[in-house]
Amino acid sequence: MAEHGGLFDGVFARGGAGTDGRAWLRAMLDTEAALARALERAGRAPAGAGAAVTAAAADAAAATGPFDVGALGRQAALSGNPVPGLVAALRKAVPPDAADTVHRGATSQDIIDTAAMLLARRALEPMAADLAAAADGCAGLAAAHRDTVMIGRTLLQQAVPVTFGLVAAGWLTGLDESSEAVARVRERRLALQFGGAAGTLASLGGDGPAVARLLADELGLALPVLPWHTDRSRIAEVAAACAGVSGALAKIARDVTLLAQSEVGEVREGGGGSGGERRGGSSAMPHKQNPVAAIAILGCTRRVPGLVATLAAAAEQEHQRAAGAWHAEWEPFADLLRVTGSAASWGADLTGRLVVDPARMRANLDATRGLPLAERVSELLAPPLGRAAAHDLVARASAHAVAVGSTLRESLLGVPDLAGWVHGAGITSAQIDAALDPAGYLGSAGIFTDAALAAHAARQK
Q: What is the pLDDT of residues 75-86, one digit of tens each?
A: 999 999 999 999
Q: Is the pLDDT of residue 285 over 80?
A: no
* In the predicted structure, residue 257 carries a pLDDT above the cut 60: yes
pLDDT of residue 22: 93
- End-to-end alpha-carbon separation of the chain, Å? 30
State what percent of residues in the chain have pLDDT above 70. Answer: 95
Percent of the chain with pLDDT over 90: 91
Q: What is the DSSP code (8-state) at residue 373?
A: G
pLDDT above 70 (res 283): no
Please say if 213 is a catalytic residue: no
At residue 210, does pLDDT exceed 90?
yes
Catalytic pick from 321, 360, 362, 396? 321
213-219 LR contacts (CB < 8 Å, sep 24+)? 214/37, 214/38, 214/41, 214/42, 215/34, 215/35, 215/38, 216/191, 216/192, 217/38, 218/34, 218/35, 218/37, 218/38, 219/30, 219/31, 219/34, 219/114, 219/118, 219/192
Chain-wide mean pLDDT for the chain? Answer: 94
Q: What is the mean pLDDT of the segment spanning 73-102?
A: 96
Cα angle vertex 261, ends 255, 262, to 5°? 160
Are the folds of 1-106 and 109-191+228-357 the same? Answer: no
CATH architecture of 109-191+228-357: Up-down Bundle (1.20)
Residue 402 has pLDDT above 70, yes or no: yes
Active site residue 411: no
- The predicted pLDDT at position 281 comes to 52
Give the homologous superfamily in CATH for domain 1-106: Fumarase/aspartase (N-terminal domain) (1.10.275.10)
- Residue ranges per structural domain of the chain: 1-106, 109-191+228-357, 371-435
Determine which one of 282, 302, 387, 429 is catalytic: 282
33 half-sphere exposure, CB direction, 13 A CA radius:
19
**Residues 406-440 pLDDT 10s:** 999 999 999 999 999 999 999 999 999 999 999 99
What is the predicted pLDDT for the residue at 1?
34
Q: Is 2 a residue whose pLDDT tops 50? A: no
DSSP characters over 419-434: HHHHHHTT--HHHHHH
pLDDT in the model for residue 15 = 84
